[in-house]
Chain A
């Protein structure tokens, strides 16, 4: 550790990723990647790196643009016992992410310039870029619009009341219209509150047997359908958060065929776990939207495969252990996701690594405006002169998830004990190797 630290204190740090396969949206090639300072310096055969270069052998690995998570709950300010910007960013780095979008359901809500600046300040020296999603409505109460223009002026590109959906169609219409003038994107957590009611899991055979109040699939689908109609009417752009049902995927598929400017994401737990997981009443399997039956899981996978769903987003939602010891219906929903997302995609999706990186790097970077087209430097391509935000993945490595060994402050991973294929070996953030051989460097 001390030796590696020395690299960051020299005149100019340099790192050589030797012998890997570079994959970005332009394609794939065998190449070494030399990083000098915060930039990619050379991509090709690098025989003589500068003296003092940290050389990492990445034979058999994929070197891609860093992953971008559209959906991270960092919990700060307000719930520091569950996560902080620093610990969340470390978990992100270990998961191969070089950027995350922090959700606004903090305490206070990220609905003011002051609150947004608080997060940016906390993120100034952490190991990943932290973008902020602002709230659509003040306090996420669904009653009046948050100062979206002011927040957009601070660089906020995505707005959502995530945790709940904007219930009023009239207010959502106004929000979409207002957003079109600001060049920002609204993102919806689709859940009709009257249909979801007090549901704590998917409404179906398992909820009926277990006696747990259910949230029906239509609670999500009616809001997807409503918002698609509003997008059609307003011409606004919109992103759908964590689609979880076959009906939602099909609605978005048709909307895209129609040419509507919509994008969508899916969370790893919605393509890897089912509602049967609730059978033991362990709230580690409680999440919102809830885990669904196999038919929905298959539909989400199909949506990821055919391009209906543009991004895999973690919905990383840390909760302190004592809250997950509550009865199932009282425990808060949410699960950790940053450190397992890529491995779950490699393990469970029958997609080439280039497609997985598209879903986890450049496509989400574009949706949240962190890519080069929007003046950012996430999502690649890996070319000389670009800012070195990179992840190195060993697609063949296997590992077993140990929830107690995760970097998050919380332990609520539903994958504890699960053997996964594909592991993040190194993560480079702005030229700094923040993860080396699976170990966080700070």
Chain B
């Protein structure tokens, strides 16, 4: 097995085995999460820092919870996007934080590529991408894969069932770091990914993307889907520049109750959140048993524990072991 990478910047950093390893280790941490005291000493003495240059309460809380459940010390660098405008360069900020003595930085930034640049600047610590611009959000894709694998029966058997699975990624793919990570992750496990969006919300080029196809009509592809992964449509995209109105978007691409009824038995619905009910997903649909949105959130902590453990952990730990 190839060694786990030093950083997690993109889903491209993980091969199929690496993804399997994260999911297997996450199984152990899901079990830890069910305990009365859901805490293990796996990262005791380690320090991780969350650097969120873009607001995100959910992802930040998920990462910080993951680190604390493994007994790591957590530094939380509160950086509004304005902090750089106050004069300190990003590079100085990073070098200052590294000088404090940390083992991993978890970075969210509105600009694509920042985690990759930071990985080139730091000398001693691992870099985890918690979402950069439109580029990548690898832990989101991993927790999606974990959640789907769970729905497919879990474990190695669940993993093998990705082969040939029909996955729809629906919505604003052009501006979505989640979509870029999902496509790589699903394809690595053998799933057939179809991108579903109006042409204006697709990337300008799909050259080299490991996808089975593209559809501009959700109704055409919905009935054969095994996984429907929805993306948030930001309201400014529906103000006339990308789609005429959000209403028109919903009419064509929203997962309404009518459309949800067309899904085959066993098909599941995912959404990375935050969802805009009534736009990309009807409120009732979000509450269906097929909807795994709550599972995604709870699995997120275990998957992030697994990523931290594989990047920083050493040797077996109580209740968790490397796959």
Report which A residues bind B (CB closer than 8 A). 203-205, 207-214, 216, 280-282, 322, 325-330
Majority SS at the chain A contact face: loop
| Residue from A208, A212, A216, A326 in contact with B133 in the complex, judged by beta carbons closer than 8 Å | A212
Q: Is the CB of B111 within 8 A of A328?
A: yes
How many of chain B's residues have a CB under 8 angstroms from any CB in A?
26
Given the known A-B contacts A211-B135, A327-B109, A327-B111, are A203 and B204 also in contact in the complex, defined by CB atoms under 8 Å? yes
21 A–B contact pairs at CB < 8 A?
A: A207-B204, A207-B205, A208-B209, A210-B112, A211-B113, A211-B133, A211-B135, A211-B180, A212-B134, A212-B135, A216-B204, A281-B113, A281-B114, A282-B117, A325-B89, A325-B90, A327-B109, A328-B111, A328-B112, A328-B113, A329-B133
Alpha-carbon separation in the docked complex, A208 to B111 (Å): 14
Chain A residue contacts of B205, Cβ below 8 A: 203-205, 207-208
Cα A355 to Cα B81 with chains together (Å): 50
- CB <8 Å contact, B89 and A322: yes
| Least CB separation from A330: chain B residue | B111
B113 surroundings in chain A (CB, below 8 A)? 210-212, 281, 327-328
| A204-B117 contact given A211-B134, A326-B90, CB 8 Å threshold | no
Q: What B residues does A325 contact at CB under 8 A?
A: 89-91
Q: A211-B132, A211-B133 are in contact. Are A327 and B114 (CB under 8 A)?
A: yes
Q: Which residues of A contact B111 (CB under 8 A)?
A: 327-330
Q: Judging by beta carbons under 8 Å apart, are A208 and B206 in contact?
A: yes
Question: B203 contacts which chain A residues (CB < 8 A)?
Answer: 208
Q: Which of these, B117, B134, B177, B209, contacts A281 with CB under 8 Å?
A: B117
Residue pair A211, B90 in contact (C-beta under 8 Å): no
- Which residue of chain B is the closest to A322 with respect to CB atoms? B89
A208 touches B207 (CB 8 A): yes
Knowing A211-B180, A328-B112 are in contact, say whether A204-B204 is a contact too (CB < 8 A).
Answer: yes
Q: Which of B61-113 contact A (CB under 8 A)?
A: 84, 89-91, 109, 111-113
A-B contact count (CB 8 A): 70
The 9 lowest CB-CB distance pairs between A and B, nearest first, are: A281-B113, A211-B135, A327-B111, A211-B134, A208-B203, A205-B207, A211-B112, A325-B91, A208-B205
* Chain B residue, CB-CB nearest to A214: B204
Q: Closest CB-CB distance, A111 to chain B, in whole Å?
A: 28
Q: How far is the CB of A204 from chain B (nearest CB, A)?
A: 5
Question: Which chain A residue lies CB-closest to B120?
Answer: A280
CB <8 Å contact, B112 and A208: no
Other than the given A208-B203, A212-B113, A326-B90, 15 more pairs (CB < 8 A) read A204-B204, A208-B204, A208-B206, A208-B209, A209-B208, A210-B113, A210-B135, A211-B135, A214-B204, A280-B116, A281-B116, A325-B89, A326-B84, A327-B109, A327-B117
Q: For A204, what are the chain B residues with a Cβ–Cβ distance below 8 Å?
A: 204-205, 207
**A327 vs B134: C-alpha distance when bound (angstroms):** 13
Q: Can you list, as one digit per residue, whether each of B206-224 has a CB less than 8 Å from chain A (1) or not (0)?
A: 1111000000000000000
Q: Which of B187-211 contact A (CB under 8 A)?
A: 203-209
Q: Are B208 and A211 in contact (CB under 8 A)?
A: no
Q: Does B136 contact A (CB under 8 A)?
A: yes
Chain B residues with CB under 8 Å of A216's CB are 204
Is there an interface contact between B116 and A212, defined as CB atoms closer than 8 Å? no
Max count, chain A CB within 10 A of own CB: residue among B84, B89, B112, B209: B112
Contacts of B180 in A (CB 8 A): 209, 211
Residue of A205, A211, A322, A329 touching B136 (CB-CB under 8 A) = A211
- Residue in A closest to B203 when the chains form the complex, CB atoms: A208
A211 B89 Cβ-Cβ under 8 A: no
Shortest distance between the CB of A411 and any CB in chain B (Å): 14
Interface centre among B109, B111, B134 (most CB of A within 10 A): B111
For A208, the chain B residues whose CB sits under 8 A away are 203-207, 209
| Contact A281–B112 (Cβ < 8 Å) | yes
A327 to B132, CA, bound (A): 11
Question: Which residue of chain B is the closest to A282 with respect to CB atoms?
Answer: B117
Q: Which of A213, A216, A326, A327 has the most CB of B within 10 A?
A: A327
What residues of B have a CB within 8 angstroms of the CB of A207 in the complex? 204-205
Q: How far is the CB of A279 from chain B (nearest CB, A)?
A: 9
For A211, give its contact among B120, B177, B209 (CB under 8 Å): B177
The closest CB in chain B to the CB of A208 belongs to B203
CA distance A213 to B111 in the complex (A): 10
Q: Which partner residue on chain A sits nearest B91 by CB separation?
A: A325
The distance in angstroms between the C-alpha atoms of A208 and B134, with both chains bound, is 9
Chain B residues, CB < 8 A from A211 = 112-113, 132-136, 177, 180
> A214–B175 Cα gap in the complex (Å)?
12
- Between B117, B136, B207, B208, the greatest number of chain A beta carbons within 10 A of the residue's beta carbon is seen for B117
B208 to chain A: closest residue by CB = A205
Contacts of A205 in B (CB 8 A): 205, 207-208
Closest to B12 in A: A209
User: Smallest CB–CB gap between A247 and chain B, Å?
Assistant: 16
Complex Cα spacing A203 to B117, Å: 21
Report the separation of the CA atoms of residues A435 and B132 in the bound assembly, to the nearest whole angstrom: 47
Expressed in whole angstroms, the minimum distance between the Cβ of B171 and any Cβ of chain A is 16
Task: Out of B90, B177, B206, name the residue touching A327 (CB < 8 Å).
Answer: B90
Complex Cα distance A216/B204, Å?
A: 9
Residues of B within 8 A of A328 (CB): 111-113, 117
A208 and B136 CA atoms in complex are apart in Å by 12
Shortest C-beta distance, B178 to chain A (Å), equals 11
Q: What is the CA–CA distance of A281 and B118 in the complex, to the nearest angstrom?
A: 10
Per the bound structure, the CA–CA distance linking A7 and B204 in Å amounts to 61
Residues of A within 8 A of B120 (CB): 280
Kindly provide the distance from the CB of B134 to the nearest chain A CB, expressed in whole angstroms. Answer: 3
Give, as a whole number of angstroms, the nearest-CB distance from B210 to chain A: 11
Closest chain-B Cβ to A323's Cβ sits at a distance in Å of: 9
Q: Which residue in chain A gives the minimum CB-CB distance to B94?
A: A325
Q: Which chain B residues numbered 212 to 269 have a C-beta less than 8 Å away from chain A?
A: none
Cα distance A214–B205 in the bound complex, in angstroms: 10
| CA A98 to CA B90, docked complex, whole Å | 39
